[in-house]
């Protein structure tokens, strides 16, 4: 009987993948629980598995005392000596208990504990196994399909493929084989919950790793992937060896490798893009097959303005913007694709003036330009019915926009008149300034001349005063002589 228990432990360990030590510990806990259920919790128990005999042994420990006050935890010295001749006062004596007399209820309790512990151990094994497989592809069989998702059997465990992780227009029935990407492994009360996905971008990467030996060997690397499940996907690849073409390696001979991936994805188209260290070149590669004319980079905001010929605009944008959307996700840059004609219009003053009206977008400005309304004046004078058809806005909104345009025109005209007045007054002010400068210069010259004349006049006056004195002396002398002459005959 004992050897059968040992064989049973070994068999369960092999079949369930549970560690043998875990099973033995589960049995010990179950027997201990059964004993406590029958005798209560007042016992000091120790339950162990004897490897030599292959049986469970249970011991009740009691303290050796002189006077017994608690029979469940104490034993007298006389009784202790009968069990062990070396017993002394204060020793802890282990007394073996028979597990055969536990009773039906205790045995049933032990069975339940064993079953529960085995389930917990099995769940832990599954969790540890699939925790390491997160991010990998697993194969399974569809067990059942309901509105919440698909339950997939993975052998020892069950996984769920939620409806949001299923590809559009993809149908599975019970018994179908399925491949999916392990998205998440959760540990919940009911056991490990394995969540699968067939829409994740890494699902495509893992499929290529399984199809392309160069990727498995590390020669070719997949830098990133972006996809719209069931429709289109883009992957960026690079080679560590210059002699190996990463795109050709992923495509394979006559496209066999990429076609295997496409079949698994139910016809989803895949663009294989060569990665480049230069962001502009990488974006150009991601937008292929469209031809790019010019790329304007805003490094701070991670924004790129891509200019393409008018006939390449629809190809660059893709159906419903799919191509540029996937390229933006793949490169991690915000991409704004514009045609050459639109880019040229944006450089014109009239186009920018229209964009300055509140609520008027570039799309509306493009339609106005195409209809011949290329300035604020033309927009303000246009009929509301015509604008309603072009702008697809309400007449009340358009009327408010026209009022704003008229206000802007008035402001511009007032500013222009002010500039003209300043230009007209400019020459007059310059003439007045020049005249004032000339007058100041003339006054300075006159002042200097007056100073010189004063000096010269002083010298002349001094010179002239001297002859006048001589003339006065000569006149007096002449008068004296005349008097002298006249008096002489009278004598």
Judge whether 486 lies within some domain: no
Q: What is the CATH number of the domain that holds 88?
A: 3.30.1480.10
pLDDT per position as a tens digit, 212-244: 999 989 999 999 999 999 999 999 999 998 889
Do the domain assignments include residue 283? no
Residue among 204, 197, 202, 133 nearest 161 (CA): 197
Check residue 408 and give its pLDDT: 85
Average pLDDT over residues 54-71: 76
List all residues 6 or more positions away from 237 whose beta carbon is below 8 Å from its beta carbon.
220, 221, 222, 223, 246, 247, 249, 250, 272, 273, 274, 275
Q: What is the CATH number of the domain that holds 382?
A: 1.10.150
95 and 14, same structural domain?
yes
Task: Give the total number of structural domains in the chain.
Answer: 4
Checking if the pLDDT of 40 tops 60, the result is: yes
- If asked whether residues 87 and 168 sit together in one domain, one would say no
Picking from 213, 215, 254, the residue whose alpha carbon sits closest to that of residue 235 is 215
Residue 118 lies in a domain: yes
Residue 225 belongs to what H/E stretch? strand 220-228
Residue 469 — very low, low, confident or very high, per pLDDT cuts 50/70/90? very low
Based on its alpha-carbon atoms, the radius of gyration of the chain, rounded to whole angstroms, reads 54
User: For 245-274, how does the pLDDT look when each residue is reduced to its tens digit (9 = 90+)?
Assistant: 999 999 999 899 999 999 999 899 999 999
For residues 93 and 14, membership in a common domain is answered with yes
Please tell me whether residues 122 and 137 are part of one structural domain: no
482 band by pLDDT with thresholds 50, 70 and 90 = very low
In a domain, 393, yes or no: yes
Write the pLDDT tens digit of every residue in 375-429.
788 888 888 888 888 888 888 888 888 888 888 888 878 877 765 555 555 554 5
pLDDT at 33 over 90: no
Residue 320 lies in a domain: no
Q: Which residue, of 275, 291, 321, is where some domain finishes?
A: 275
Same domain membership, residue 145 and residue 122: no
Host domain of residue 236:
200-275
pLDDT of 121 > 60? The answer is yes
Say whether pLDDT at 433 is over 90. no
Does the pTM of the predicted model rise above 0.75?
no
Residue 183 sits in the same domain as residue 145:
yes
Q: What does the alpha-carbon distance between residue 369 and residue 145 come to, in Å, rounded to a whole number?
A: 55
Q: Confirm whether 463 is domain-assigned.
A: no
């Amino acid at each position: 009987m004992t050897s059968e228990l040992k064989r049973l432990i070994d068999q369960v360990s092999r079949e369930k993948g549970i560690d043998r030590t875990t099973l033995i510990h589960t049995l010990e806990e179950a027997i201990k629980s059964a004993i406590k259920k029958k005798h209560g919790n007042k016992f000091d128990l120790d339950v162990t598995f004897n490897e030599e005999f292959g049986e469970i042994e249970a011991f009740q420990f009691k303290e050796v005392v002189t006077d017994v006050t608690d029979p469940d935890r104490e034993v007298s010295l006389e009784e202790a000596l009968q069990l062990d001749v070396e017993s002394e006062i204060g020793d802890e004596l282990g007394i073996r208990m028979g597990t055969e007399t536990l009773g039906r209820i205790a045995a049933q309790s032990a069975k339940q504990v064993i079953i529960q512990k085995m389930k917990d151990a099995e769940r832990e094994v599954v969790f540890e196994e699939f925790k390491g497989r997160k991010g990998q592809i697993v194969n399974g069989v569809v067990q059942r399909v309901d509105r919440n998702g698909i339950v997939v059997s993975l052998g020892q465990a069950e996984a769920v493929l939620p409806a949001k992780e299923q590809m559009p227009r993809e149908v599975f029935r019970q018994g179908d084989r399925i491949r999916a990407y392990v998205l998440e492994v959760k540990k919940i009360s009911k056991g490990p919950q394995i969540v699968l996905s067939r829409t994740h971008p890494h699902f495509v990467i893992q499929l290529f790793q399984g199809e392309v030996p160069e990727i498995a060997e590390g020669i070719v690397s997949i830098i990133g992937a972006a996809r719209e499940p069931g429709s289109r996907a883009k992957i960026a690849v690079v080679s560590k060896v210059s002699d190996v073409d990463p795109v050709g390696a992923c495509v394979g001979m006559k496209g066999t490798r990429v076609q295997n991936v496409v079949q698994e994805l139910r016809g989803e188209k895949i663009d294989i893009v060569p990665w480049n260290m230069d962001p502009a070149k990488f974006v150009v590669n991601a937008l292929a097959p469209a031809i790019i004319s010019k790329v304007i980079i805003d490094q701070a905001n991670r924004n790129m303005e891509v200019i393409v010929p008018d006939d390449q605009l629809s190809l660059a944008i893709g159906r419903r913007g799919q191509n540029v959307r996937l390229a933006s996700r793949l490169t991690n840059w915000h991409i704004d694709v514009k045609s050459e004609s639109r880019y040229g219009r944006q450089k014109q003053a009239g186009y920018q003036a229209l964009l300055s009206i509140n609520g008027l977008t570039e799309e509306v400005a493009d339609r106005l330009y195409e209809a011949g309304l290329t300035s604020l004046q033309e927009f303000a004078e246009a009929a509301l019915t015509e604008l309603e058809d072009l702008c697809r806005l309400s007449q009340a909104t358009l009327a408010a926009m026209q009022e704003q345009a008229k206000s802007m025109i008035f402001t511009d005209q007032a500013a222009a008149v002010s500039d003209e007045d300043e230009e007209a007054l400019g020459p007059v002010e310059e003439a007045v300034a020049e005249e004032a400068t000339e007058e100041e210069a003339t006054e300075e010259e006159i002042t200097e001349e007056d100073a010189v004349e004063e000096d010269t006049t002083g010298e002349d006056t001094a010179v002239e005063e001297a002859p006048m004195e001589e003339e006065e002396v000569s006149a007096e002398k002449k008068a004296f002589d005349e008097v002298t002459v006249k008096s002489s005959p009278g004598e």
